[in-house]
Amino acid sequence: MVSVGLRTAFNEHLFGEPEQDANTALTELDKGLRSVKIGEQCEAIVRFPRLFEKYPFPILINSALLKLAEVFRTGTNFPRLCVLRVCQQSEKHLDKILNVDEFVKRIFTVIHSNDPIARSLALRTLGSMAIIISDRKSVHHSIRDSLDSHDAVELEAAIYAASKFAAQSRTFSVNMCSKIAEMIQGMATPVNIKLKLIPILQYMHHDAHTAAMVRRLCAQLLPSYPAQNFVCVTLHTLTLLASETLVEIPQQLLLLLEYLCDSRRGVQAQVLSDLKILAVKGAHLWTTSNVDGLIDLLLDQPHLELQRRALDVLVTLAMAEAANCFTLKADTKLHLIWNQCCYSCDRSVAAKAVQLLVQLVIISSKQGVSTSSVPDLSQDAALSVESLMLGLCLAEKTEERELKIVLASAVQLSRVAGAEVSAAMVDCLTRLLLLSSGPTLVLLCQALAAIGDTQPSAIIPALVDIMSMLKKLTVQSNQEVLAIPLLCVLMFQTHASHCWSQQANEVVNEAIFRVDLWVAFRIARSATRYGHHAIAYKIFDRLLGHISTEHLYFWIQGLRDFTLAESHLSGPDARSTVSLMERLVLAAKLYLQGLSSLKAATSPTRVLQFQAEFGRLRVEFLSACSQLVQACRTLQTAPPPAIAHAVAAATRDELQRCGRITHQLRKSVVALRQVAEALSKLGQSAFDADPESLTNLQLQKQMALILAQTVESTCLRASQQGVMTAEDDLPMINKTVQTEHIAVRSMALKCVESVDLVRRFRDGNPDLKLINHLNVGCIMDCLKLLVETPLCFPRFMFQTLQTTSIKLAVSPQPRVAGEAITTTMGSQLAVKVEGIVQVTSSQRSSGRRVRAVQVTIQSNPTNPAVGPDGKPVESSVSMNKTVEPHNDYFSAQFLLTFAAAGLHQVFVETALLDTFDALWNAGPKAQLSVKIFEESGSSRTTSSSSSAAARVSVSATSSRS
């Protein structure tokens, strides 16, 4: 049987299944459902979740789930079990069912079966559908009756359904609270059933009265059932209940701290786990006395695992922004922790204690308080970190989890502490680097690279050791292969604003030729991100001879041309031998060649839209710069004509006295501002870009604006322009750029330096009125400074931490492709826009989330009608609506009225709004063709059913914006 459509292209999920449309896929699965063989029937059922993920629109999901409900009603228990699994896996699609009553009716029929297994399957299926049938009284009644069943399977299914409905329905929670309490307290209820019933109480937080009643019930259960499993389940239920109500957290903290003194280790472990939940949910509700109570247990606790759990709770509290429960005075109990725990014989306890100490240093640095009563903890933290790193790195057995914790703490400490502590951290890491191998070597390199990304000056003293390590490494083990790119990154970081020495250049070149092609590509990628394009060009040029696929060949060729262009602009050899104008022309030519290669590298599975637009805008910027250089040369090559004074007097423009250069400079300003605007639009379309990549685009935009403002302030508006300041001319640069990644920081510093250059010129020449060699010299100095700044390629050019896409469907759908919708002038056209937001991201990614989608619809006549006055009649319509996706699905409906007959084009555009309400033009577009006829006399006498009987077809095309 042909399965549901799965892509077989590069980077897709499964193999061997052809691409299909929704109707064909559903038809194939329907054949399987009607099969007499139960194996084929179940095989078709289990394929439905994949169908829902690929075509998650209500009309298909409604039809498919109704078919599954019919199989559930008429089939045997095994197909019913498969349908249950489909409902559980497709919970987020259940609210797209249109015929809910019919769907529930077919499932609910089985509840009256004589087979307890069938009844239990029906109960579990109904429980998995609680999100859409939460207030169905008939289902509530069936669950209540099934809780009295003597069949163990049916009883457990009823408990499952009860927990699902309690989480969704306030009515069910209130009505069932007394029933569940009676069963828990009843003597006839088995112990294992009671343990399964108690967790249902955690969902009964829909109103304060029910939550208080549940809390009283659980408080009575604790002394009545002192067994360890009962105490653990009850405390955990109370904790989850308090985390939802929030107002009960202080009371729950006191209860947990009371049971923390229980002698049973299992109870203490459960209490510490619950305390961590409350530390995440309500850190602002913790008090100093709560922390002191936890520290008292920690200091008196002989079990190392419980010590680690207690420290983990304190670390979670310290990392919370809203926490205000730590007292950093010298005589507090916190100081006893690192004296006892930071140097513990158990490495996991010591790692957590060091992590807590570093977090307290961060809190102290944010508060900015360091007195005799509040001592500086950075030196103590540095000693603790160094001692633990030495112990972990020199141990016979590598403890990676603890080593990652202490290395992350070392990186954080180096960022918040002073230069002395940072130097000590780097020195310790470098010494351990020379003695390590295997996974430890890779982790140490990662820690040094993390420090060098924000503090490259701290890595410079270790440059000699890094080069010696890079020389020593071979490629005999996988870990050494992973360490070589990281060591090269350290070399790139230290040379971000320094010239390469011959020895450093030789070491990196030797390392590049020792590694395989993938590692070499990673090194080249890092080199482009730090602005070392000459090294990247060598690697890309080497890779070209070893690539077998066509698309990858053109991708690498495009990158090679880009890096060669940048090396001509910023390379020291080119700057000393080739003029600025020649370098600009050559770089633009190479970028154009690279763009041609990128277009050839594009494939359906890898659309290089951002990369191509990035290269195109770089070409436009370089062209604008070369145009500006030519305009500046015009002052020497085309002096003002004899009639310049007359032209200036006639146009009332004093700058016309300067001749042709005025017009050329104004054209350059227009071109530069267009580049800045295009870069801004590129940033708005890059929803999935990381913050560093967006900052990179902002800095490039700022470079174009600085050049435009420099020309305007020094030449075109010399008598009107006021004093320039860095704050006025760098409005888009965040203040944190100065302390962020070295790649964007170097570009930001050049922007500030160029503004200072122009400001000094203005202050030194306040009386300049017309364009002369001084103005032009200032423009050229500023231009040279910005153009020769190494352009660091953004990370988004190579990697994306998440991928956000929208599947858009516009109805009505076309019957025949290429035709247009036909309707009359007196009627309205209903347009429904549906979409699915699909996001794929790495586990460590914390990228942007889509909060809402803005749908804009606009209709324009192809041939606008002309009025009696000879002017076009305004008949365009534009509407927009902002909708919030529910379970990634959104829909918007519009009624369009057309004022003129003829052919109209209807454009549908979507834009994304993130959690900060920032608008991103990253959604797809669709287009409809609508043909409007003038209403005839006979049709006016009829009702609107005449227009409803008209044949409707749609021609819709979707393209990614």
Of the candidates 241, 227, 86, the one whose C-alpha atom is nearest the C-alpha of residue 167 is: 241
Contact in structure between 389 and 406 (CB atoms under 8 Å): yes
Is 750 found in the same domain as 629?
yes
Decide if 207 is inside a domain. Answer: no
Asked whether residue 784 is assigned to any structural domain, the reply reads yes
Pairing of strands 828-841, 957-960: unpaired
Mean pLDDT by 10 residues, the chain (961 residues): 30 42 83 89 92 88 93 93 94 90 94 94 95 92 93 95 93 90 89 93 87 89 91 95 91 93 92 94 89 87 89 92 72 74 88 91 75 68 91 86 93 88 91 88 92 88 90 76 91 84 88 89 94 93 90 95 93 78 94 95 88 96 94 74 62 63 85 95 93 91 91 64 42 50 84 88 73 83 91 92 89 78 85 90 75 93 74 79 91 88 90 92 90 64 36 36 36
Whole-number Å distance between alpha carbons of 566 and 533? 6
Residue 787 and residue 841 share a domain: no
Does the residue 667 lie in any domain?
A: yes
In this structure, what CATH number is given to the domain that contains residue 853? 2.60.40.10
793 and 806 inside one domain = no
Q: What is the 3-state secondary structure (H, E, C) of 711-745?
A: HHHHHHCCCCCCCCCHHHHCCCCCHHHHHCCHHHH
Question: What residues are paired with 930 via a beta bridge?
Answer: 821, 904
Same domain? For 779 and 902 the reply is no
Q: Per the domain annotation, does 257 fall within a domain?
A: no
- Distance of alpha carbon 897 from alpha carbon 859, whole angstroms: 9
- The 3-state DSSP class for residue 490 equals helix
* Residue 863: both structure tokens together: 């041939």
Examine the domain organization and report whether 630 and 684 are in the same domain: yes
Q: Are both 792 and 824 inside the same structural domain? A: no
Q: What is the 3-state secondary structure (H, E, C) of 535-566?
A: HHHHHHHHHHHHCCCHHHHHHHHHHHHHHHHH
Q: Any residues with CB less than 8 A from the CB of 536 and at least 6 apart, and which?
A: 524, 525, 527, 528, 559, 563
Task: Name the DSSP class of 919.
Answer: E
| Residue 603 domain-assigned (yes or no) | no
417 CB-near residues (< 8 Å, 6+ apart): 361, 365, 378, 381, 382
- Note the helical H segments in 186-248: 191-197, 208-224, 228-245
Q: What pLDDT, on a 0 to 100 scale, did the predictor assign at position 728?
A: 45
pLDDT, position 487: 93
Q: Answer yes or no: do 717 and 816 share one domain.
A: no
Is 808 in the same domain as 742? Answer: no
Nearest to 951 by CA among 831, 811, 815, 828: 815
Q: What is the pTM of this model?
A: 0.85
Q: What is the pLDDT of residue 785?
A: 92
502 backbone dihedrals φ, ψ, rounded to 5°: -65, -40
Omega of the bond leading into 640 within 30 degrees of 0 (cis): no
Number of domains in the chain: 2
Residues 816, 790 share a domain: no
Structure tokens given for 919 = 């608008």
Are 587 and 568 contacting, i.e. CB atoms less than 8 angstroms apart? yes
Query: For residues 420 and 428, what is the distance between their CA atoms, to the nearest angstrom?
Result: 12
939 shares a domain with 845: yes
Residue 819 sits in the same domain as residue 680: no
- Among 755, 781, 797, where does a domain finish? 797
Domain of residue 655 covers: 619-797
Q: What is the 3-state secondary structure (H, E, C) of 605-652?
A: CECCHHHHHHHHHHHHHHHHHHHHHHHHHHHHHCCCCCCHHHHHHHHC
- Measured CA to CA, the distance from residue 405 to residue 355 in angstroms comes to 7
- Reading the block at residue 144, the tokens are 């209540």
703, part of any domain: yes
Indicate whether 882 belongs to any domain.
Answer: yes
- Residue 646's pLDDT is 64
Say if 46 falls within a structural domain: no
Which of these three, 797, 817, 839, is where a domain ends?
Answer: 797
711 contacts 779 by C-beta, under 8 angstroms: yes
Q: Which pLDDT does position 280 carry in this prediction?
A: 92
Claim to verify: residue 750 and residue 816 sit in the same structural domain: no
CA distance 163 to 192: 16
At which of 775, 797, 819 does a domain end? 797
Whole-angstrom distance, CA of residue 556 vs CA of residue 549 = 11
Report helix, strand or coil for 920. strand
